[in-house]
Structure 1
Amino acid sequence: MELQADSKKKHENLNQKDQIKIRAKQGIEFPGIEMRIVGDDGKIAPRDGKTMGELQVKGAWVIASYFKTHSRDNFTEDGWFKTGDVSTIDANGYMEITDRTKDLIKSGGEWISSVSLELALMSHPKIKEAAVISIPDKKWSERPLATLVLANKNELVSSEELKEFLSKDFANYQIPDKYVTINEVPKTSVGKFDKKEIRKLYAEGKF
């Protein structure tokens, strides 16, 4: 409770936009739970709100294993549960999930969040849905490909327009080079974007 009160005081002087950004994050640790971010190199990432890595948790409320299994494959040797979520933690302890490890794009050694790109693209008035996947690239290893469902099929949007729109919040290397318009984003049985199916369609040359 004291930690929450201290954090709240720190944020009272922030402008409304920055306060909303903090409130949109997943939250802070609570008693009995520890969190850490671990990078590809196995090192614990700094709490700077920028450095991404896998979210790992440990504590009394964390599962010992998945239901009806005794597998410890998702645990580190020192007992931390590997969530599979790519996240950041800021200096005040606020954690934000940016992607899933399987959907994260690594281009030229830099991480790119597919979820952040999707949310930004879907805020464009001409875009109804957007799903971003990684595709192979000879120079950069991977590059983001954006598949789009238009809000109005008769109102097209150019790649130049989208690149300019994204440039307000993303660095050049994070912005997709290719955009593909599709009729509908494939979805799983629970309504989530089925990126496995999108990757399959790309591999088959469907777009």
Structure 2
Amino acid sequence: MNNRILKDIEFIVEIDKMKSILRQTKIIGENRREDDAEHSWHIAVMAMILCEYANDKIDIGKVIKMVLIHDLVEIYAGDTFCYDKEGNLGKRDREIAAADKIYGMLQDDKRKELRALWDEFEEMNTPESLFAASMDRLQPMLNNYHSDGGTWKKYKVTRSQVYNRIAPVKKSSDQIWDYIKFMIEDAYAKGLLEK
């Protein structure tokens, strides 16, 4: 049997583990946490629907690839809640080691392509990576906003923390940024965010 397809299938079976990596964010209207696979699917669809609002011309196919593979590292590194200061210590090193491991399962050409997409996503230096990161950060905001504050209330997240976290959108989409400002201020007025 072709060794290449065996490695590809091994990788595909391994990434099924994303379905068991739970995030802090709850699903809108339900009392259960979403998993990484649900999150990645959701932001891929968001990117497809919202790409017309990007400030710069973007390659939406590349953005979708980025958002679908960006959290594969969490299979080995785990999900780190963005507002957990202690949990974020050493996160970058854990995720780099995880990226080496998960993408290293593939043949060189696919390993290089996926690793380059992951690195680009992490660096946020291109219009595509900024837009992808914007979708990644917008999705949990939408979930929290439409779930009576969700993790914002649970962890006493402040308005300024949310503004800091969502900042990449400022560079990627003026129209989405306007919506985000409305959402944050409305959430604050409703008591869903701390001062």
Shorter-chain TM-score above 0.5: no
Using structure 2 for the length normalisation, give the TM-score: 0.28
The structure, 1 or 2, with the larger RCO (C-alpha pairs under 8 Å, 6+ apart) is: 2
Larger gyration radius, structure 1 or structure 2: 1
